[in-house]
Each structure stands twice: as structure tokens, then as C-alpha cells.
Amino acid sequence: MVIQRDTPLKLRGWAVAGDTVLVEFIRQNRVVKDSVEVNADGRWEVQLPAQAVSVEPCRLKFSLKGYPETFQQLENILIGDVWLAGGQSNMEKKVNHLLEAEDYIREADDFPNIRAFRASYNALAEPSEKVNAGSAPWIVCNSLKVADNVSAVAYVFAREIYEKTGIPVGIMQAYRGGTELETWLSPWKLAEPEYCKIAGRNDFLDAGNSANAHSVNFNGQVNPLKGFPLKGFIWYQGESNTKRPNEYRYMMKMLIEDWRTLWNQGDLPFYYVQMFNVSAPAVYEEATWADLREQQNFLLYDKTVPNTGMAVIIDTNEEALNPDDDIRMHPRNKKVVGIRLANIALKDTYGFELLAEGPVLNRYRISNDSVYLYFKNTGEGLKIKTGDAELQGFVVSGTDKKFKPTEATILNDSTVALRSTQVSQPVAVRYGWARNPVCNLYNAVDIPATPFRTDGWKLSSYTEPQSSCPAQTGNSKLVAVIINGMPLQDFNPEQFTYNIASGITADKADVLAIADSPFAEVSVSGPEQENTILITVTSEDASRSVYELTFDRNTGFYENTKGKWTIMMSEEGMIVKNNSGEALSLKMFNPAGQCLSVDRLEGNGEKKYNLPKGVVFLDITDSSGRPQTIKYLIK
């Protein structure tokens, strides 16, 4: 066993009500003792002081006061870091599945300070407090036991951490092949109103498969582990959710929030694996597999879910066309997966100075028939994958939204230039966009670039979210705004106005806005004012939040005519004049979505509105039924 260092240790169990449980923790020659009376419901819990790292074995003793025959002892306990490894079959595949299995098994005896516990399959309708009796107890990961009992990804991860830090590592395993993410969420998380629409729907799960009903794997495998202190989580799952990729990011957020709440240790690190490559190689295709990768990547931009990291593994499945389904869908090159996860943890959790992520698009610029892409996480420079002659994986499109191959050239350590003979005026770029993308941009430490797209167009593979749950109420918000490939660094979902000092104007800004719900509708438009962009987030109940991006500070009063109506601004307020014979519907609201006024302006009519100081948005709707949103500043 490994106990989490530097964290109070909670121990719990069951006994006869009224009895007293005696607990002793023996660390070499030091002893910590405590006792607790068993509650009326037969439960007991005791908390022991935090312990520093120990590679020397410790012991735990338990007994009931007055009943020496109840004495129990746990031996060979180390103090180090404990990580929970979760997911589906690609996390479940054991060390004997590795391409390098023989080496890892033979060398396991050199790393006795790596230990593992495995919670057995136990799909339950209700949360259990007790670990299933069929679970595999804590083991020393030696050459006799590691092959069939420990996740390959988790073991490689643990070994990398131990080799770099010297700290004992414990792996708690909770996984099951073929399971959807919803099965790993708690019943109370799914019951929260804001999440019912996203994942609280039995109509989207296989009712005939008990392992894929809501919460069943959480109930039987995760909930019993709560309270045992952790260092963090690693997660490898997603294959079973590719039929609904657009909701995956939101469910991942649910999962992370849920598990962190269960352990009550703050924002524990949560590192996950992006989808691997599978199927026939392709430079470009629209597929839900690629869509889910995008959702996994978007989670990194959500500042409401801190302390996360993602391992990109689009280059690991060298057997993607193997006729054996078990091999094709479960790549054996899992050493790379474990190492990339471990490097993220070493950098972000353990403070090592190393490059742990691959190149990520930082910004881009379009100039005539060329596109210039600027990357971060390049280290000593971008490069083509060793052994390849040409840079591949990029496609560009014009306004027709038809993507074509393009020539790609590495200009310097962080820049790639694109030029296509088939697209004379490119407006969008995609990279690595296929189930098994032919792409080969790497950084100096041989980590592949993250797949991306610069456009926000609805994908042909998009599936409209559906639900049997009631419509959500309340304003949806954005969680991130990306301008020309660059995330808005100071973005806050509750802040609605921004001045963008980037050297670009609104007409040159390509804005991607990410909402907090898959059921929210996001529209990006340039309103009346020059150099200003509005992002409107419309919830299911038609309430809205509006974000204003201003690329200069020109927000003075003016008169603006739009054919059917005239808006006149003065010190006395806002005057709206209807220039047509048909009635117009007017609605004024503030950036938080609060309605200030609703009115109907008859044909050829004119009205004055006294509005509060600050930013005001005006919706004008004519007979077409499509509102136009206009922003004004009331001084």
C-alpha cells in the first residue's frame, strides 16, 4: 500500500455500534495512536496526522478495545503519492499489452516502491460505501504481479514519476471497458438542474447494458474509494462517447468537478488523454472522432476547470488498420501515452522544468493567398517528424467551406507558412482533422502538434444535442474566447466588455466563442460601431448574455440610419424612429442579459427612451422575425 504524503489520513470502517476502535500507525520507531467510538449506524472514522515521504515500510494496527482477538495489521506501507487511474478499456489494458511488455515486466523488480490497487467491476444502482470483495488488494508491482494486474498506461506513468522524483507511487485503478462517461458520474451530479440537459438522460444510454447505465460504475468503483487521499487523477476514455462528441467537454467538466468534490482536496490535478488515431489514414475528413478531440482540447481553455492537462497521442496507433479489432482499437504503443501524461504531471504538479506539451496554435495571420501560423510549446524549434520529407496535415478553405490540401513550410522555430494552389483566398485552416490524420508537425522533444481548426463553422458530422429533460433556464455564458487562434487571456465569463489591444481591427478578427452549454446558441456579429464585435449567447429560455469586443476606443454618440429605422443618440437619451410602415419590436437589455425595456414601435412612429448609464444592447425585430442586435454606450 501507498499512503498519500503530507495529507491527513482518513481511515473508516464498520463495527458494532458502541464499540471503540483502536488505531496505531507505526513509522519505524514512532507510533501515532487514536481511538474512536463506533456510531449508532455501525460506522467509524478516524483521522491521523499527515506524514512525510517514507520509503521504509510502515504499519497500521486495528483492534476493538477489550477484544484482542480482533487485532488486524497492515504491513509494508509506504508514504508517497497516490494517483487514481480511471476510464475505459485503453486505461484498463494491462502491462502485458505493451509493445515493450517483456522489458517492463522484467525490470519491475527494480521498482518495488510502485504499488497498485484495483477496484473490481461492480455496476450498482445505488452508491456503495464499501469496496467490492472481488477487488484486487494492494500489491507490490513486481515481475510476478505487474503483468496481469496493473494498467499499462498507469504503470508507465507511475514508473516515470518514481524514476524522476524518488517518491513512492501508488496507483488506484477504477476502469471498465466499453463504458460511457455518464456511468462514472455520481447520481447527485446528474441530478443538478444545469446538468440534466447534458447527461442526465437514460434515453441516450444502452438500457440493455447494465455497465452503461447512469452512475453505475461511479456507485460501485469510485464512491467506495472516497476519502482515501490522492495526489491527482489520470483519465483515458472517450471512445464510447464518439456518437455524441459535442457534449463531451461539458460532461468532462462534470466529471472533474464531481470527483474533486468527492475527495474534498481542492482542485486536484486531472490529466487526461486525447483520442488516439484509428481507421484508414487521411489528410482530412469530417468525423465525430475528430470532433471529440476538439472538445477535449477546448476543456483546456475553460478557466472554470483549472489544473488540467491533456496528452496528445494522434501518432501512437501504428496498427490502426490491423484486422484484429482488439489491437486496432487498443493501441499497444502505450509507453508513449504513459510518458506524455507523466511529463505533464512532472511539469505542472512536481515543478520540473521541461517541455511537456506539443506545439499549440497561438495565433495566425492571413495575407493574400498565404496563411502564417504561429505556435507555442516549440522548445528549440518546430520540425517535421523524423524520417518524413514533407510537412503534412494542413488544409485550407475559402468562403465556400471546401477544404483543400496546401503546401506547408516551416519558416522558423515557431512559424509555419501555408499556400494552396487550389484556394486563392483562404479564410480557414484545419490541421490533423481526421480519425487517423496524416500529419507530422512536432516540436524539438518529439511531441506532436495538437489538432486544431481556425473556423467556427458547424461540422457536417455535428449531431444536434437532444434531451428528454426540461429546458434550461437562466443565462448561458461563455467560458472562452479565441481571436485569430489566440485565447483571450483575461477572459472572465462575468465580464462582458473587452478592449482588445492586438494590432488588428474587427474586420480582420476571426472569433471563436465557446459556451458553457451545448444547448446554448452562439452568434458572432459586427454591430453598428466600427471595430466592435458582439458575441451573443442565447439560452434555451431565450435569455441572453452579450459580450462586446472593442478593437479601438471609439464609442461616442452618433446618428445611424439602417433603412427601416433610425437610431439617434443625444444627451437626452436614445431616440428610435421607424421609417417603415410595419411595426417593429424593441427590446433593450444590459450585458448581463437583464431586460431594461420591451416595446412595440408602430409604423412611421418615433419614441424616446431614457436608459441607465453604461452599455445597452437594443434588439430590433421586423416582420422577418430575425432580431438585429445593436450596442450603444449611454453616458
Same fold, 2-78 and 559-634: yes
Distance CA 262, CA 224 (A): 10
Reported as a pLDDT band with limits 50, 70 and 90, residue 70 is very high
Whether the per-residue pLDDT at 565 is higher than 50: the answer is: yes
- Mind listing the pLDDT tens digit for each residue in 583-613? 889 888 887 778 888 999 988 788 888 877 7
Q: How far apart (Å, rounded) are the C-alpha atoms in residues 403 and 121?
A: 45
Query: Per-residue pLDDT tens for 259-297?
Result: 999 999 999 999 999 999 999 999 999 999 999 999 999
Instruction: Return the domain boundaries, the chain.
Output: 2-78, 85-273+308-316, 360-449, 478-542, 559-634
Tens digits of residue pLDDT in 436-472: 999 999 999 999 999 999 998 888 877 776 666 667 6
pLDDT, mean of residues 309-325? 93
The CA angle 375-379-382, to the nearest 5 degrees, is: 55
Does this model's pTM top 0.75? My answer is yes
Name which residue leads in pLDDT, 581 or 73.
73
pLDDT for residue 573 is more than 70: no
The answer to whether residues 311 and 274 touch, using CB atoms and an 8 Å cutoff, is yes
Yes or no: say if 623 and 580 are a contact pair by the CB < 8 Å rule. no
pLDDT at 431: 98
Cα separation, 446 vs 87, whole angstroms:
26
pLDDT in tens, 187-209: 999 888 777 667 645 444 445 56
Q: Is the pLDDT of residue 85 over 50?
A: yes
Q: Helix, strand, coil proportions of the chain in percent (round to 5)? A: 20, 35, 45
Nearest to 67 by CA among 21, 128, 14: 21
Distance CA 48, CA 31 (A): 11
- pLDDT surpasses 80 at 379: yes
H-state helical runs in 93-233? 101-107, 146-149, 152-165, 187-191, 193-199, 216-217
Instruction: Report how far Cα 535 is from the mean position of its chain's Cα atoms.
Output: 23
Distance of CA 319 to the CA centre of its chain: 27
Residues in the chain: 635
Quick one: pLDDT at residue 635?
58
Considering only CA atoms, which of 249, 254, 363, 352 is closest in space to residue 310? Answer: 249
CA dist 272 and 87 (Å) reads 9
Q: Which residue has the higher pLDDT, 208 or 17?
A: 17
Lowest mean pLDDT of 29-33, 128-132, 248-252, 472-476, name the range: 472-476
What is the per-residue pLDDT for 203? 44
Q: Kindly state the average pLDDT of the residues 302-308.
A: 94
Provide the pLDDT confidence category of residue 568 given band limits of 50, 70 and 90. Answer: low
User: Among 49-58, 71-80, 544-553, where is mean pLDDT lowest?
Assistant: 544-553
Number of neighbours of residue 373 by Cβ within 10 angstroms: 26
pLDDT over threshold 70, residue 564: no
Q: What was the pLDDT predicted at 466?
A: 64
Residue 348 near residue 269 (C-beta atoms within 8 A)? yes
Query: C-alpha angle 22/28/29, rounded to 5°?
Result: 75
Q: Which three cell numbers stand for residue 336?
A: 508513449
SS3 of residue 79 by DSSP: strand
**pLDDT for residue 204:** 41
Residue 556 in this model has a pLDDT that exceeds 50: no
Q: Which of 433, 428, 570, 569 is nearest to 510 (CA)?
A: 428
Q: What pLDDT, on a 0 to 100 scale, did the predictor assign at position 202?
A: 47
- Tell me, what's the pLDDT at 336? 98
Predicted local distance difference test score (pLDDT) of residue 558: 33
545 pLDDT above the threshold of 60: yes
Work out the average pLDDT over 91-103. Answer: 98
Task: Band the pLDDT of 625: cuts 50, 70, 90.
Answer: confident
- Selected from 2.130.10.10, 2.60.40.10, 3.40.50.1820, 3.40.50.150, the CATH number assigned to the domain covering 2-78 reads 2.60.40.10
What is the CATH class of 85-273+308-316? alpha beta
Show the beta-strand stretches assigned E in 237-378: 270-273, 308-311, 360-367, 370-376
395: nearest Cα among 452, 462, 435, 436: 452
- Specify the fold of 559-634: Immunoglobulin-like (2.60.40)
How does residue 559 score in pLDDT terms, banded at 50, 70 and 90? very low
Q: What pLDDT is attached to residue 553?
A: 41
Query: What would the mean pLDDT of 118-125 be, rounded to a whole number?
Result: 94
Strands 169-175 and 114-118: parallel
> What rounded mean pLDDT belongs to the chain?
89
Q: Output the pLDDT for position 486.
A: 80
Mean pLDDT of 197-224: 74
pLDDT of residue 29 exceeding 60, the answer is yes
